[in-house]
Chain A
Amino acid sequence: MSMIPQLLFTGLGIGSIYALVALGFVLIYRATNVVNFAQGDFSMIGAFIMVVLAIDLGVPYWIAVIVAVVTMAAFGILFNYGVYYPLRHRTFLPVVISTIGASILLQNGVLAAYGPHPQSLPPMLPFPGFTVGGVFLDSQYLLILVVTFALVALQYLFFERTMLGKKLQATSQDKEMASLLGIPVALMIGITFAYSAVLGGVAGILVAPLLFVSINMGSTIALKAFAASIIGGFGDVTGAIVGGLALGVVETFGAAYISVPYKDGFAFLVLFLFLMVRPQGVFGEKVAEKA
């Protein structure tokens, strides 16, 4: 009887990772109208920074986490200036190609530095978890759920309660009007990239102890996260979170009840069904030009 809550717990845990990466996709998409194909690599870079700090340099684990998060924010700004900013007045296509190029560069850069062998990181908490009512709550999954919930709550407060949050929203809704009001649009987009890189990095750091840290770990996560954001309604913040969580749950139940080898396939089956039946996603509106 404890099977269903157990699967739900695991599914929501892995779904949280997809949700964090999907949020990164959506925030950058809303600010720049471009899908960042290197979003998954933010997770990979975050995990590798942890390997460098915690394993190679022996920095205490939690200090390493803080340094990694700050480094990811700086990396996001650097990414903005290297990949997006020079092409900001162009159409979406050169920017998309630029992000694909960045993804290839990042993966091969890490490959050159670390070789093809996957690295591993220990669990982040010093205890394995609890058993509650026959359900084993793994500490790493618990941590993922708690951190994701806290990040989403903080993000909500930031966007809804602060002037800077409002300026970021204004920038994503109408850049030209924002600049006419004196909102520094380029800075707002820089902040968006920094935050999206942190979201991706945190997802990578959190999931690293569950998977191996490898150069293409980001691609798999990003593909699922991308599917999640389409299921939720592309461009919608709530949709990205709900889509991510739902995909994690579907995948986990599919693996348990239908087939483990086809685990990765369930996400795309759901995506396929949505594209057929409700292409605008759960929270999306039908695409229509407004007068």
Chain B
Amino acid sequence: MALLELDGVTAGYTAVDALNGISLRVEDGEIVTLLGANGAGKTTTLRTISGLMKPRSGSIRFMGQEIAGASANAIVRLGLSHVPEGRRIFPGLTVRENILLGSSNRGRVPRAELDRDLEAAFGIFPDILKFADSPGWTLSGGQQQMVAVARGLMARPKLLMLDEPSLGLAPIIVQQVFRTIADIRARGTTVLLVEQNAHMALSIADRGYVLETGRLIVEGPPATLLDNEEVRAAYLGGRVTAE
């Protein structure tokens, strides 16, 4: 049984469907990446999975349980954490408070356990420890991204969905973020990664899907996607050969 399974999911903001029958699966322990151009429907797919949008039709199963149409609150309580695009740090709360609130889906958690998890989060992102008591808005984009991922991990998710974690970050920070994602999977958390930076995403992913205007056009391991002419032309550009 796949950890997450979408079957014929359609969804949209207007009368026109932004997602046109998406079927995909994420197995336990995988890093799966969802690639595609701007407006292909990557973010909409994640928003539909996490309950921010209701699918118009199709089924979404998480650990065998149907979650299509459930509230965002109910879905995150099952252990499916969504770190949305743009990081969405609470600007008026401190870094520590932002990260602690990530545990809201777990109900009452003993303070000692929260402190251990918080320590573990700062262990993964040592760079943000010195900002623990600074308000969220004072951090740089890269630091905010780390806080956002740390906050997502505080949910102790079985599946962590990351939307464009590299967006707007300096190349050196991007490498650091991707190393951390690989590290998170090594610790046992399954990852569904939406990215524009296809090369970086495929460098750590087990499998990938390519979305084009609301449809999945190709699926496979990184080597297959990197070899696919259509994918190279559309999303990878000429840099494949240059590297």
Contacts and interface: CB of A to CB of B under 8 A. Distances in A.
Interface of A: 163, 166-167, 169-170, 173-174, 176-185, 290
A270 to B, nearest CB: 28
B91 interface: yes
Interface string B144-169: 00000001000100000000000000
Contacts of A170: 90, 93, 101
Contacts of B151: 181
Nearest to A166: B97
A125 B71 CA distance: 50
A167 B101 contact: yes
Contacts of A176: 52, 72, 84, 88
A167 B91 CA distance: 13
Given A173-B91, A174-B88, A180 B101 contact: no
B76 interface: yes
A170 B135 CA distance: 13
Contacts of A180: 50, 52, 72, 76, 81-82, 84
Given A166-B97, A166-B100, A167-B104, A182 B73 contact: yes
Contacts of B196: none
Interface string B44-73: 000000101000000000000000000111
A128 to B, nearest CB: 44
B105 interface: yes
A182 B90 contact: no
Contacts of B52: 176, 179-180
A174 B90 contact: yes
B8 interface: no
Interface of B: 50, 52, 71-73, 76-77, 81-82, 84, 88, 90-93, 97, 100-102, 104-106, 151, 155
Contact of A181 (B71, B91, B92, B102): B102
Contacts of A183: 73, 101, 104
Contacts of B50: 180
A138 to B, nearest CB: 38
A173 B93 contact: yes
Contact of A169 (B88, B93, B102): B93
Contact of B101 (A166, A184, A185): A166
Contacts of B73: 179, 182-185
A166 B96 CA distance: 11
A274 B144 CA distance: 36
Contacts of B97: 166
B71 A179 contact: yes
Contacts of B81: 180
A121 to B, nearest CB: 39
B92 A169 contact: yes
Nearest to A165: B97
Nearest to B109: A163
A286 B154 CA distance: 35
B234 to A, nearest CB: 29
A181 B76 contact: yes
A166 B90 CA distance: 10
Contacts of B76: 180-182
B164 to A, nearest CB: 15
A199 to B, nearest CB: 21
Given A181-B102, A181-B105, A173 B92 contact: yes
B90 A173 contact: yes
A178 B101 CA distance: 9
B128 to A, nearest CB: 18
A185 B73 CA distance: 9
Given A167-B104, A181-B76, A183-B73, 9 more contacts: A166-B101, A170-B101, A174-B88, A176-B72, A178-B101, A180-B76, A180-B84, A184-B73, A290-B91
A174 B71 CA distance: 17
Nearest to A177: B88
Nearest to B136: A173
**9 cross-chain pairs, A with B, having the tightest CB-CB distances, nearest first:** A182-B105, A182-B104, A177-B88, A182-B76, A179-B72, A173-B90, A181-B104, A183-B104, A170-B90
